[in-house]
Structure 1
Amino acid sequence: MAVCVSSNLCHFKWRISFFVCALVFGVSYGEVRYVLPEEMKRGSVIGNVALDLGLQASELQARRARVVAEGTSQLCELDTASGNLLVSQRIDREELCAQASICILQFQLLLEDPLQAFSLVLDVADINDNSPVFATGNVKLDLVESTVLGRRFPLESAHDPDLGTNSIREYKLSHNDHFSLEMSTQINGNTYPELVLKRQLDREAKAEHVLEINGIDGGKPVRSGTAFIHINVLDVNDNVPVFSQNVYKASVPENSVIGTLITTLNATDLDEGIYGEITYSLSHLSDKMGGLIEVSPLTGEVRVAGVIDYEEASSHELGVQAKDGGGQASHCKLVIDVIDLNDNEPVIEIKSASANVAEDAKVGTMVALINIYDLDTGSSGRVTCSIPDNVPFKIFSEVKNYYMLVTDGVLDRELQSEYNITVTATDSGSPSLSSVKVITILVNDVNDNPPTFTHSQYNVNILENQPMGTLVMKLEAQDSDDGTNAKILYHISRETNSEVSSFLTINPDTGELFTSRLFDYEQSAHFQMKVAARDGGDPAFSTTCTVNVYIQDQNDNAPVILYPVQTSGFIAEDVVPIEAPKGYLITKVVAVDPDSGHNAWLSYRIIKATRSNLFMADLHTGEIRTLRTFTDEDETKHAIVVLVTDNGRESLSATATVSIRLSDGLPVLSELYEFVEETKGNDNDNLTLYLIIALSTVSFLLILLISGVFYFNLCRRSYVYRSNTSSLPVFPSTYCTSTLTDFSRCGTLLRDDRYDPFMTTGSWRGDFRFGSNTDTDTLKKRSAAYQKNTLRRLSTERPSLKVRAGPTHPCYVIK
């Protein structure tokens, strides 16, 4: 006897048509769907991904293409050389999808540089690789001999993991005279065999019947399974247990504790004694249900015996048997619905992440592809994803369960070189669950910052005559970039004058400046150059700074005697009246020092004279005056040796020989000695003035102060009255030719911004005037301009000084 169960053939053909349409649709929208049979050999070709996606096979290898699984093991792999998708592990549809009608495996094809994702869907088709199997190879039935004809005895169905035509198609019962086999349908549409009594049993004729039942599938080749039914004929037990319901329905929350009561079964038997004692048991338990549910044999209480997970199965349909002591049994169905709880946190998987991103990356550059899913269902399975607001990134989704992390602002490595981005996935359950994963993104440096010097201008002093290679200073520039972009090389800028650029050399690595020649303050007191710092980026950035080098004077020049002119074999004579009184100005030793500042301050003293008590030399001006009046005993000719020394740390000196001749016929000029008496008078007046000031009122002090300010302003503008120079002694033109009116770089008169010369009070009264051949106008103009410019500058810089050195090269000749 054979019973057919292949009613799902038309549904299977419809699904095949649907898969073909889905394949075409998937390719057109960035998704490729392949239908493949299970149990393919490893290395078998599923399909050519490159061809189906319109990509070049060489592009797959260049972009480091790979296939990643979504929530499953890696069952396939990509051959980047050919673009073929290959089977890498055993694909067993029954293991992957159990009894699901459609077995879909989701994969992602990821390509990097740039990052791109395609969806790959594998539809695993069933093959007839499993034989039907009965859970119990030997079925025992105890039937009373009075069992009515047509009585049905449900049998456990054979189990075949295959689907469609490959599953159970029919059952066959071995030939016998008493029983036939018929099919019955459960509420879920599944069929199962029932043994139907066709002829009255007679225990005395035959106490035991052994039947063979075969479960046959519809595959090619056909597979079958066999079980044996052992029927014991008992004496009359004419009542069977009866359940209060044909179908029991119950629900239980997932993750309920072991022992939780689900429902209670209830069956009754009108017989008494052993025939009325009922025991309960479960039948048709699958492998997954084994150990999850248990029933009390005596009370019929159904309780939780293991971990019930909604994600494994949302409902369970069980067969329940009530059997009395006489061996008769009845069956009913128990349907248990599992209530889903929010017991699964969202899963965050980083499918592809570019750990580094350039700081000049454009907005929208993708740095990571994230797969987020939740095993729960309904609102508990809806997931929202977020990242902090204070990072220049954003996250969004274009494909279900896949999120892209992209740049959303300007990146600056110098401000922040690393971002630890916290990705938070939260479901909509109650209470909601969330999971967190941190993605570290490193910002790669680009050369976007030029080097910077601490100052735009540097001033440095160096003594003249220093040996070549002397360290002048060390320049240092900073670059906020990193690596080679921050490596700085120094060089003298091309903006620097070619002659000046040869004065110094620079170490390109350290920025140290060294002298490359000997410096002479008398030749050049200051020069300026530009130094450039260039980083190692591509393209490179550079910046410049200005270095002002001031040459400091050393006392390396001895004083030079201008007057009296010292020539071999000839010394000019100065004639003085024999009636000259004490303090009479005879002549003046004029000397200059090419040095500057203190090194050029000159002192005069007589080191040798015909008579030691007759003449004196002014320490600061070099004026030669009489110490007393001449007598008849004094010689008419005198020779005086004057030592001129400078004020350097190791002073240098020169000597001048002055020849003086007394003359009886010369008139005595009052201008050359009146200052002595006048000075004494002025001293007394000053003393009286100080006494008056000390006793004056505040108003008188104010008037005196205003007068003083007005007086000094006139002095600065050279408006102070000077006596007529027509009566002054003449500086012979013989000793000062027109070429000596401008001495180039003579240090005593050279401009110096760091030292100030000082004159004694009233020294202008002892000046000489030049002969007619001397170009004094030029000297006066230069001297006036010098005083005007110098005094104006001193008024703001150093108010305590009276006079400051003037322009670059003027040289005073005393007049």
Structure 2
Amino acid sequence: YYLTVEATDGGTPSLSDVVTVNINVTDINDNTPVFSQDTYTAVISEDAMLEQSENKPIGFSVLQLVVTDKDSSHNGPPFLFTILSGNEENTFQINQQGVLTTTAALNRKVRDHYLLHVKVADNGKPPLSSLTYIDIRVIEESIYSPAILPLEIFITAFGEEYSGGVIGKIHATDQDVYDTLTYSLDPKMEHLFSVSSTGGKLIAHKRLDVGQYLLNVTVTDGKFTTAADITVHIRQITQDLLNHSIAIRFANLAPEEFIGDYWRNFQRALRNILGVRRNDIQIVSLQPSDPPSNLDVLLNIEKSGSSQHPMRILLHKINSSVPDLEEILGVRIIDVFHKLCAGLDCPLKFCEEKVTVDENIMSTHSTARLSFVTPRHHRTAVCLC
């Protein structure tokens, strides 16, 4: 603070003088440094052959300690870190920046667990300090490669392109319990797709034309890398296709359960019943029905409505085969319908029906091997008489 002080006497005439007073308020060291965690944990793999290795060389950074201090800078950093106990063999050290590193190769057969008691002191006079623990487990080096399950993704697009979004999740496993998996995508496809490096979530991040895309995805545990191909099918639906769609309602079935456990068998069973190719039977939309525990599946049968596959014959074949389908799948089918007007007290010639989709409400239903991205559909029937 800078103060200007004036002193005036009582004489006639009065005399005065002015002086400047400079007041400095200095910080005292009254706040201890604080660790960001009461206990830190780390898992590191041992060094091969008990000597410097390419994977975990001596001087390997184990973790970063984070410390804050509410005092001013001259009473805070640089901090002094001291390992009080647990480091009798001097296997670890901590530098002024709080980075814990190894000073020797690790051998889990000799020692597989360290509990370091660590103190940090600030730069004040006298210095203040805080304590924390670092729990370190030493594991065997990774010996297994990650495994990726093949994934096929089917996207329903109303129009000639898909607007983008989350389209599925890549599932990978590793028999090394402590391994952390990192996902990546072929750079050539990064202008169209991206993948979450930690979770494997696959995203289409721009408008994609109808067609088929082949993506090469890699997963690494830091030592081994595995690659796999992901196939993305973007299929166009039109109003005419919707007008010739067939809806089947299943009881007590979730979308992911249907995709993962029943879809392929259902496709094969319908193929045999209808006398069509398996790939001629495609999902247009999946959504919970009322009550939400039930499931509506909107299907398209290629060439349905044509002279080769008249819709009324397809419907008759499916309805007459419901008991067989239920026995094959082990689920209950509530209804199979194409025309809502059949349930209205209205002459068919006065009944107007329509199936529409809302492309702004897209749902992604993903399992380990299959993913479907479909719009919400609506079925309406109005009596015009």
What is the TM-score normalised by the length of structure 2? 0.32
| Higher Cα radius of gyration | 1
Higher RCO (Cα < 8 Å, 6 or more apart): 2
What is the TM-score normalised by the length of structure 1? 0.16
